[in-house]
Amino acid sequence: MARSTRRSTIVVAGLIPILIIAFIKLAMPLVFEQTSGLVFDSYQRLSPRPYRDAGVRVVDIDEESIRQLGQWPWPRTDLAALTRAVAEAGAASIAFDIVFSEADRTSPRLLAERASRQGATEAQLATLNSLPDPDSRFADALQASPSVLGFFLTHDPPGGVVEPKAGFAVSGSDPGASLTSYSGAIQPLAPFRKSAKGLGFISLRPDADGIVRRAPLLAKANGVLVPSLSAEALRVAQGAGGMIVRSSDASGEVNAGAPEAVGLKIGEAEVPLTDRGELWMHYTPPAAERIVPAWKVLKGRLSTAEMKRLFDGRIVLIGAGAIGLRDLVATPVQDRELGVVVHAQAIEQMVLQDFLYRPDWAAGLEMTLLLGLGLLLALLLPARGAFAGALLAGGLVASMAGGSWYAFRARNLLVDPSAPILGLVACYLVVTLLTFLREERQRRYIHGAFDRYLSPELVKRISADPSRLELGGEVREMTVLFCDIRGFSRISERMAPQEIIRFLIAFLTPMTDILLARRATIDKYIGDAILAFWNAPLDDPDQHENAARAALEMVDRLKRLNSAMPAEQGSSWPGKVEIGIGLNAGPCCVGNMGSARRLSYSLIGDTVNLASRIEGLTKAYGVQILMGEEPTSRLSGLATIEVDRVRVVGRDTPAIIHALLGDEQVAATPAFAAFAGLHASLLDAYRGRRWDEAEQLLGQNEEAAAGFGLSYLYARYRKSIGACRENPPGEDWDGVTIAESK
C-alpha cells in the first residue's frame, strides 16, 4: 500500500508540468507560437524549397541601376519605358512593389509652378507646360500592359476606400472577421489606379520576432476585401475575372465556430490559407536566375531573344533593392531579404502548387500528444531504472521530433513538437528527480538494515530493486538447498588450520558463484556446509528449476575441481572431495531472525528441516543429489527417479525422496528411459513383497544403475531384499525406511 501511494505521488508530480504546459499552450498561445516559428525556421534552413523556374522574374532596381540611370525616384518616363519593354517581351503580368502615391517630381506642371514662384516669364512657363507629362506617359504604359500596382495598408485614421480591380466570391459564410483588418491605405494616384489592370497591397506583416513566415493574400481595408500584390499578379497573368474565397463552413469543411478563411481560388490555382488569409511561406535559397537588373532592360543590354527568354509568359515583379531603397525583411532562410522576393516566392508556390500546410487539426494533435505521451511517461518512468527511463524518455522525444520532421520533409505539414517535447523533458526531470530521491532514501535504509547480516552481493541486488522487498517475517513458497562435504571431519584432522581455510575458500567460492548466478540467496555457511534458498527476498518464478540446475552445476564443478585443484593447491586440497546436496520446497517463514543486537535474514520451517534431513540421506543412499516430492513435482524434463520412502528423525510423515541424475539431455536418452522404467517396476515389486520379481528386476537393471552412479543404492536394495526374505515384514509393513540418524 505504501509503495503504491509513493508511486502515485510521483506520477501525479510528473503530470504537473504537463498540465502547466498544456495550460500555457491554451491560455497564452503566443508563447508557443514564437517557439513553433523557430522550429519551423530550422526545418526550412535544413530543407529549403528547391528552386524551380515557375515563370516568375524580379526586375531589381539595384545599386548598379541607380549608378547608371541616376538617383531614385526615376522619372516616370523611365518607368514607362521599363514597363513597355517588359510588356513587349511578352510578360503575362507586371507587378510593381512600389507605391506611386505622389506625382512625378519632374512633371512639367510641377516644374512650371516652381518656376513661377521663382519669377519665370510667361513664355518660359508656356514652354514647360507644353512638355509631355511623365505621369501621363506612365499611365499610358500601364494601360497598354498587364500591369498591377501596389498600395500600403495602414492602421492610420480611415483614408480613401480601396476599390479592387476584381471582385470576390465567397464559398460559405463571409470569413471577413478572421482576416487582418486595416483602417487606412496609401494608394497610387487615381490615373494610375484607373490604368492598371490590377491593384494589390504590398504590406508584409512579420511575426513578433520580426521574421516573415507567412505572406498575406487577403485582408480587409475599411471593410472591403482586398488582394495582395502576389495574388493580384497571378490573377492578371491568368486573365481571371475574380477570386473565390472558401470559408471554413463551406461544403466539405467543418464549421467549428465563427467562419474563417481556409482557401483561395485564383484562376486555376487553389491556395490554402490560414484563418488570417495568409500563405505559409516555403522559401528557397537565394536564386540568381530569379533576378534581372533593371538597368540591363532600360539600357538595352539584353537582346530581343534574351528578353523573350526572360519575360515571355512570365509574371514580372519590379522592386527596389538599391542601398537606401531596400525594402528588407527577415525570413527563416535569409536575415535580409527583399520584400519583392517574398512576393515572388509566394507566386512561385501558387504556380507550382507547392505549399506548407498547418492544418486545423495540428493544434489538437499537439495537445493530444502532450497529454497522452506525458501521461504515458509519468506512469512508466517510476517503474524503470535511470538508464531505461532515459531511453524511454529519449525515445519519445526523438519520436516527436522525428515525426514532426518527417511531416515537414515528406508531407509539407507543420506540426509543432515543442510543447510535447518540453512536456516530456519536464516530466522526465521531475519524475527522475523524485524517483532518485526516493530510491536513495530506500537504499540508505536497506544498506543500514541488511549490511549486518547479508552478503554484499545480496544487498546490492535488493538495493537495485527495493520495491519488491518486504522487511520482517513472512511466509513464502520457497526452495531450500543444503550442501555438505562428506567426511569433512576426517579431512580436517589431516590438515593444518591454514590449509583448511584455503581449502574451504577454494571450495565455497565457485559453489557460491554458481548459486548466486542461479538467483539464490546464501543464508549461511555452517563450516563446510552451505544453506541457500530461492524466492526471497526477491520473487523467483523459476525457483525450482534454478535450484535443480544449480545442484547439477555444483556436482559438475566439483568434478573439475577434483581434477585441477590437487596440482594447484597441493596439500590444501585433500584428494577426491565428495558432496551431498538435499533439495526441498514448500512454505517457509523468512525474515529478520535473531535479537535486537544481532540480526540474520534467514528462514525456518518444516521445509527447511526436511531439506537438511534429505541432504543427510545422500550418504546413506550413495546419491549426490536428493530431492523431496515438492520440487520433483515442479520439474519437467530433468532426469529424476524415485529412491525411497523414508521416515526421517523427528518427523512422523514419510518423505518420498528422488535422485536428480541429469538435465534434459540425459533424460532424453534411450538408456535413461529404459533404466527409469525398470527402476519403477523394481520399486513396485519391492513394495508389493514380490521378492523374486524384485530381485530379477534388480539384476536386469544393476549394470545400467552403475552407469548412473547408483551402484551403492542398488547394493542397498539387494541387501534389503535379502533381509526381507530371511525375516518377512509384518502385515503392517508399508515399504517405508526408518532413518536412524539425522
- pLDDT tens, position by position, 163-222: 999 889 998 888 878 898 998 899 999 999 999 999 999 999 898 889 999 999 999 998
pLDDT for 112 equals 58
Position 158 confidence tier, pLDDT thresholds 50, 70, 90? low
DSSP conformation letters of 381-418: GGGS-HHHHHHHHHHHHHHHHHHHHHHHHHH-B----H
Q: Given a cut of 80, is residue 90 above it in pLDDT?
A: yes
**Range in 14-23, 430-439, 596-605 with the lowest mean pLDDT:** 596-605
Q: Greater confidence, 264 or 6?
A: 264
Q: What is the spatial distance between Cα 280 and Cα 350, in angstroms, rounded to a whole number?
A: 11
Q: Greater confidence, 587 or 111?
A: 587
Q: Given a cut of 60, is residue 51 above it in pLDDT?
A: yes
Residue 4: phi and psi, rounded to 5, are -60, -40
Short-list 58, 151, 153, CA closest to 102: 151
pLDDT for 447 equals 62
Q: At what angle do helices 691-707 and 711-726 cross, to 10 degrees?
A: 170
Helix, coil or strand: residue 118: coil
Q: Of all residues in the chain, what percent carry a pLDDT higher than 90? A: 58
**Range in 270-274, 533-537, 622-626, 728-732 with the lowest mean pLDDT:** 728-732
- pLDDT tens for 656-683 read 999 999 999 999 999 999 999 999 999 9
Q: Average pLDDT for residues 578-588, to the nearest whole number?
A: 96
- pLDDT tens for 548-562 read 999 999 999 999 999
Q: Greater confidence, 496 or 356?
A: 356
Q: Average pLDDT for residues 486-508, to the nearest whole number?
A: 88
Write down how long the chain is.
Answer: 742
Range(s) of the chain covered by CATH 3.30.70.1230? 469-635
Residue 407: CB atoms within 10 Å: 18
- pLDDT tens for 314-338 read 999 999 888 777 678 899 999 888 9
Go through 133-169 and write b for each residue having 16 or more CB atoms within 10 A of its CB, e for each that does not: bbbbbbbbbbeebbbbbbbebeeeeeeeebebbbebe
Q: Given a cut of 90, is residue 636 above it in pLDDT?
A: no
pLDDT for 740 equals 74
Q: Average pLDDT for residues 434-463, to the nearest whole number?
A: 62
Q: What is the spatial distance between Cα 670 and Cα 27, in angstroms, rounded to a whole number?
A: 78
Q: Average pLDDT for residues 582-587, to the nearest whole number?
A: 97
Q: Given a cut of 50, is residue 452 above it in pLDDT?
A: no
Supply 717's cell numbers.
Answer: 536394495
Q: Of all residues in the chain, what percent carry a pLDDT higher than 70? A: 88
Q: Which amino acid is it at 481?
A: L
Q: Average pLDDT for residues 627-633, to the nearest whole number?
A: 96
pLDDT for 32 equals 80
Where does residue 371 rank: exposed (0-12), middle (13-18), buried (19+ CB within 10 A)? middle
Residue 588: CB atoms within 10 Å: 25
**CA 334 from centre of chain:** 32
Position 732 confidence tier, pLDDT thresholds 50, 70, 90? confident
8 A C-beta contact, residue 499 and residue 572: yes
pLDDT for 468 equals 46
Element spanning 310, H or E: helix 304-311
Q: What is the spatial distance between Cα 663 and Cα 643, in angstroms, rounded to a whole number?
A: 18
Position 453 confidence tier, pLDDT thresholds 50, 70, 90? very low
Q: Given a cut of 90, is residue 624 above it in pLDDT?
A: yes
Q: Average pLDDT for residues 129-144, to the nearest whole number?
A: 84
Q: Given a cut of 50, is residue 703 above it in pLDDT?
A: yes
**Range in 97-106, 231-240, 629-638 with the lowest mean pLDDT:** 97-106
Fold of domain 469-635 = Alpha-Beta Plaits (3.30.70)
Q: Average pLDDT for residues 503-529, to the nearest whole number?
A: 92
Q: What is the spatial distance between Cα 440 and Cα 665, in angstroms, rounded to a whole number?
A: 46
Q: What is the spatial distance between Cα 210 and Cα 205, in angstroms, rounded to a whole number?
A: 9
Q: Given a cut of 70, is residue 123 above it in pLDDT?
A: no
8 A C-beta contact, residue 472 and residue 449: no
Q: What is the spatial distance between Cα 647 and Cα 637, in angstroms, rounded to a whole number?
A: 28
Position 583 confidence tier, pLDDT thresholds 50, 70, 90? very high
Q: Average pLDDT for residues 248-267, to the nearest whole number?
A: 76
8 A C-beta contact, residue 658 and residue 629: yes
Q: Greater confidence, 257 or 486?
A: 486
**Range in 124-133, 552-561, 563-572 with the lowest mean pLDDT:** 124-133
